[in-house]
């Protein structure tokens, strides 16, 4: 079983990252602010194009440590990696399945079923924890999505599946604001807005989804799969379609729950956000650091994997799902088992 390693997030504009013997060192204004053993880091994520020393980049390339560059607001820019990993036969099998709609549907259906079921689990969790405050709309949304699950499993085309997915997403996001129990006036949420996010809650979600997509992409690359070629999201130049497919399973668990905790526990507040003239809402540097800390802490928590039954950290789950998908593509298991919340 793969060991869960950490991701090093670099947010400071003045940061410089270098290798010192068997450690990674982060300096700000020529002062050492962080140091970690090289064997404990599997990814370095830079918000903006930060300075990394050539010896460090060479080490990362030789040892399969990914280096990703995102904008300060989480949009993916570029990824630096060494020689391509993985079996070419696995990728050939992946491309063959992606070119066949029926075979793609066999993978996409369980992924979307898991996504909708995980949405329902998050709503049901709120109903259990807040029985007196829970609105009828949340109960109605939970019931409607439950009724859609059999339809999802019976979808005969990808377009039909996308239709059910879109319907359930609209229903879910229509009531997600009801799960915000603190700072309700400052964190109203009525619908999902992406480019740009138009309220603080959406700004948090967009950032969380961006770093989650990067983690899933890294897991797929490590396994040897091509993150650009998916089964549900259409292939488009520069789009990590398979990463977007697989992260559907984790949106509620590693995105929405963290957003709700940050707001409901008042770890972020209205002052952490700026509203631009265009209506776009942006997070402050402190809010990003708080979010990244919460995300890293969440990844360190242990769960029992719902399919394998093994205990592992949450951060390892995307790697396990990538491995299970690779096993299905190779024909080692009869179907792909997606990640379900329990």
pLDDT digits (tens, 9 = 90+) for 51-92: 888 888 888 888 878 788 887 767 777 777 776 666 789 999
Angle at 6 between CA 216 and CA 269, to 5 degrees: 80
Nearest to 219 by CA among 288, 299, 110: 299
Domain boundary residue among 25, 46, 80?
Answer: 80
Q: What share of the chain has pLDDT > 70, as a percent?
A: 95
Domain boundary residue among 80, 97, 123?
Answer: 80
CATH classification of the domain holding 64: 3.100.10.20
**Residue 241, CA distances (Å) to 18, 89, 145 in order:** 33, 20, 25
Would you state the pLDDT for residue 73?
Answer: 66
On the question of pLDDT at 167 being above 90, the answer is: yes
Q: Does residue 322 sit in the same domain as residue 238?
A: yes
Would you state the pLDDT for residue 134?
Answer: 64
What confidence tens digit (pLDDT) does each residue in 5-34 have? Answer: 678 888 777 888 888 888 888 888 888 888
Q: Does residue 117 sit in the same domain as residue 217?
A: yes
> Is residue 336 assigned to a domain?
no
Q: Does residue 252 sit in the same domain as residue 199?
A: yes
Show the domain range for 46: 6-80
Q: Are 12 and 28 in contact (CB under 8 A)?
A: yes
Neighbours of 100 (CB within 10 A): 11
Q: Does residue 119 sit in the same domain as residue 141?
A: yes
Calpha distance 317→4 (Å, rounded): 9
pLDDT higher at 194 or 201: 201
Calpha distance 110→230 (Å, rounded): 14
Tally of domains within the chain:
2
Q: Does residue 122 sit in the same domain as residue 269?
A: yes
Instruction: Output the six-digit token pair for 270.
Output: 């209205």
Confidence label for 229 from pLDDT (cuts 50, 70 and 90): very high
Would you state the pLDDT for residue 159?
Answer: 95
> Is residue 128 assigned to a domain?
yes
Would you state the pLDDT for residue 258?
Answer: 95
Q: Does residue 26 sit in the same domain as residue 48?
A: yes
Q: Does residue 223 sit in the same domain as residue 145?
A: yes
| Average pLDDT, integer, range 230-253 | 91
CATH classification of the domain holding 113: 1.20.120.920
Q: Does residue 185 sit in the same domain as residue 37?
A: no
> Is residue 98 assigned to a domain?
yes
Domain boundary residue among 37, 56, 80?
Answer: 80
Q: Does residue 147 sit in the same domain as residue 37?
A: no
Mean pLDDT taken over the chain: 88
Would you state the pLDDT for residue 85?
Answer: 60
Q: Does residue 16 sit in the same domain as residue 60?
A: yes
> Is residue 342 assigned to a domain?
no
> Is residue 46 assigned to a domain?
yes
Neighbours of 166 (CB within 10 A): 10
173 sits in which H/E element: helix 158-176
Q: Does residue 101 sit in the same domain as residue 224?
A: yes
On the question of pLDDT at 2 being above 80, the answer is: no
Q: Residue 186: is it exposed, middle or buried by C-beta count within 10 angstroms (0-12/13-18/19+)?
A: middle
Q: What is the pTM of this model?
A: 0.84
On the question of pLDDT at 337 being above 90, the answer is: yes
Confidence label for 257 from pLDDT (cuts 50, 70 and 90): very high
What confidence tens digit (pLDDT) does each residue in 274-333 have? Answer: 888 787 888 888 998 999 999 989 988 889 988 888 888 888 899 899 999 999 999 999
* DSSP conformation letters of 2-18: PPP-EEEEE--TTEEEE
Q: Does residue 181 sit in the same domain as residue 218?
A: yes
């Amino acid at each position: 079983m793969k060991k869960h390693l950490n991701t090093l997030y670099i947010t400071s504009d003045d940061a410089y990252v270098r290798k010192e013997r068997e450690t990674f060192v982060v300096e700000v204004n020529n002062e050492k602010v962080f140091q970690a053993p090289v064997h404990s880091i599997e990814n370095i994520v830079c918000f903006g194009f930060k300075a990394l020393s050539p010896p460090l980049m060479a080490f990362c390339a030789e040892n399969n440590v990914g280096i990703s560059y995102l904008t300060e607001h989480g949009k993916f820019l570029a990824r630096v990696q060494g020689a391509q990993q993985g079996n070419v036969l696995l990728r050939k099998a992946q491309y063959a399945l992606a070119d066949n709609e029926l075979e793609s549907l066999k993978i996409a259906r369980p992924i979307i079923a898991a996504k909708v079921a995980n949405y329902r689990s998050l709503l049901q969790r709120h109903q259990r924890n807040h029985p007196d405050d829970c609105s009828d709309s949340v109960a109605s949304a939970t019931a409607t999505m439950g009724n859609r699950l059999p339809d999802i499993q019976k979808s005969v085309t990808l377009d039909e599946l996308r239709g059910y997915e879109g319907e359930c997403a609209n229903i879910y996001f229509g009531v997600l604001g009801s799960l915000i129990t603190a700072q309700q006036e400052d964190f109203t949420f009525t619908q999902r807005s992406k480019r740009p996010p138009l309220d603080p809650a959406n700004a948090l979600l967009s950032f969380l989804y961006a770093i989650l997509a990067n983690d899933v992409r890294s897991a797929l690359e490590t396994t040897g799969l091509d993150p650009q070629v998916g089964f549900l999201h259409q292939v488009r130049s520069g789009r990590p379609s398979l990463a977007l497919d697989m992260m559907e399973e984790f949106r509620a668990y590693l995105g929405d729950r963290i957003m709700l905790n940050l707001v409901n526990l008042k770890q972020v507040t209205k002052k952490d956000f700026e509203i631009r003239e265009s209506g776009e809402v942006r997070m402050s540097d402190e809010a990003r650091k708080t979010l990244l800390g919460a995300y890293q802490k969440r990844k360190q928590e242990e769960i029992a994997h719902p399919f394998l039954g093994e205990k592992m950290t949450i951060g390892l789950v995307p790697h396990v799902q990538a491995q299970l998908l690779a096993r299905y593509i190779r024909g080692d298991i009869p179907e792909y088992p997606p990640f379900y919340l329990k």
